[in-house]
Structure 1
Amino acid sequence: MDSPYRHELEAAIAAAETAAHISREVLAAAQADATAGSFDVVKDDLSPVTVADFAIQALLTRTLGDAFPADGFIGEESADELRQSPKLLSRVLAVLAQCAAANTPFRDADDLCDVIDSCSTLAPGTGPDRIWVFDPIDGTKTFIRHEQYAVNIALLEGKRQVLSVVACPLLSVDVRAPVTDDSVDPTGRGCLLYAVRGYGAYTRPLLGDPGEVLQPRRIPRHAENATSPRDLRSVTCWALLDSGVDVVHKGVAEQLQVPFPGCDLLGWVPRWAVMAVGAANMTVWVYKKRDRYAKIWDHAGAMLLFEEVGGMITDVHGKEIDLAAGRKLEANFGFVAAPKKLHHIVLKAVHDTLKAQGRTNFSRISCRYCQPP
């Protein structure tokens, strides 16, 4: 891809490839020794944290920080657990030394922790105009089960996503619907997706012969071809999380006569990825509580993949997703994503369903958002 962000894209792809290698090595080590304790740390929100989360965030921050020192960085993790656990810290240093020492030198343990912490406090709008956003492992729970997960890298300029690189080490480059968490690529090659705003979305294997890896294929703008609700194909996370209102998501699909759940994935980044490649083209997410907000690293960049194939993404109120609102997307509530020509139909179905189910406190919306573009 020839674009004004060629240097950034090349650096991010190289970092994503190394990050995917780290994730594979950590998985292999954990499977080889079930007592290794790679997955024995728990964060405040009760989601598991792994050696891979810390190692990859450090890798991405140091690599891209060296390449673009004037930019800011946002990542999911802080180094608090590492500072409190010398054993865990030594594992992270060891896997980095094994996988990436030549490219990502860390002077010592304090340097590693400082690098991780350097992107745990910055928020959009409070630092440089250009900010990189990382999710080192999206889908940590499925990662532990050796199921679908992703490494997410985004570059923001102000409120705009301008670059996305997503590595899905267990997703086939030729994946077909329905895709679920246990749809693991039998070839072991995995999938890399990337996009630059206005220049399209591309995909290629993470691993493979040089000719195949060096010749990515541009993903057609398939979402532009969807003109009828019959063309809609859903992706969701059905009955696996307690943050969303499952009956609303199912109700919307039933109103639109869309098979449900269709593709069914825990991680948000894999969901955006399968929408990009055309295995799905619609997702709806209504949180159970009005004060529940999405986290920027689960969506920034990965959403751009779907937009670059003709998709449109808003929140439940029809508002554009504001990526400058903070580490949590507090200016938005939930998600409605669909092909541009059908988005207004899906959005109206969401509000009809909310009204029918008596959830009017979730559907404060101007009627203009439900009209065709």
Structure 2
Amino acid sequence: MAKTKKRTATSHRSTDSTGLPPGWIRVESRSKPGAFFYAHPATKRTQTEHPGQRQVRSKRPEGPRRQKAEDEAKGSPLEVEDTEDPAEKAERLRQEAEAAEAEEAARQELVRQQRAAKRALLKADEKKEDEPGSDEERELVSKEELEKWKEDEERREKEEAEAERRRKEEEERRRKEAEEAERRRIEEEERVRKEREEEIRRIEAEKIALWKARTAMARKEAEFELAVSRERQKKEEADKRLLEAERVRQALLEKKQQEAEEETKKAEAELRRKAEAERLRREFEAQNQQNERIPEPSDPISVPCFDVFKSGNRIGRFILSPSQKSWTIGRCPPVDIRAGHETVSRKHAQVNRQGCFTFLQDLGSAHGTVLNGQKISKNTLEP
């Protein structure tokens, strides 16, 4: 019966695989007993350093790195996510889910290959135990190594189960993110639609408000025109009333003037009675005296005129306009020919033109009117 020799637990080439990334295994070197290396069956890569201790950097030169701005460094994923297009985000999440599924399938394939490699190693060890040979040449697996291998397998299965659970959670999270992105996209479309409808309603409201404002303005203009027309009518009526009142006032004024004239006439009659002797004396003296002859004017006269003389000297000339038919002579306005003498009444006489003839008419003056040395009777025309 062959004797077996116990070996330490670290002699198995698949043990001490704690912290290995998925797909990597720890293998004992056949050329150097007691040495180990790490292999990746899927990619056929081997290395002496632990693959989980440090990352192998690429030999290609790195380009210049852009420094992040403060806003980019402080920005949260939510802010980036809010600015991303919902459709692009959904597509990105779908691609990430497909990549995760492909990665998980590759990982499961690597685990399957790793298990197959382990089974092949175990079978090879069992064959070596069955073959005759020296104890030093045989590689026996102790119970401790078997227990350790079982513990490693259980731990790896637990890790795989945990990885499966995490994968499902990640898929669920991505599915929820995709649903959330879809929900946000729908909400964004709904918000855009509502904003568009609100904009349309606002434009319609502005048009209605503008139409109402124009209608109100037209109505106000019509009301203003009507009010102006009424005010104009009221003003015309007021002007008519004022004109009528002015006519009444003018009539009353004329009546008062007539009364004043009558009173003046009475006073003048009283003065005439008092000055009758003086007047008669003057008339008598005037009759006795030789009539003073007024010389003909030396300057040429192109239109009819009325000259006023005092003490043989001309003191005024009044043009008899062809468009006028009568001229009033008196002391106070309103008269056409004014003679400021005490013997001249306010309305003393009147010169009338009839065709080619000119007549002189006394208007009831106090001292009378004399033409060519003869006194004119009152209210009679003398050529």
TM-score normalised per structure 1: 0.18
* Structure with higher RCO (Cα < 8 A, 6+ apart): 1
TM-score, normalised with respect to structure 2: 0.18
Structure with bigger helix share is 2
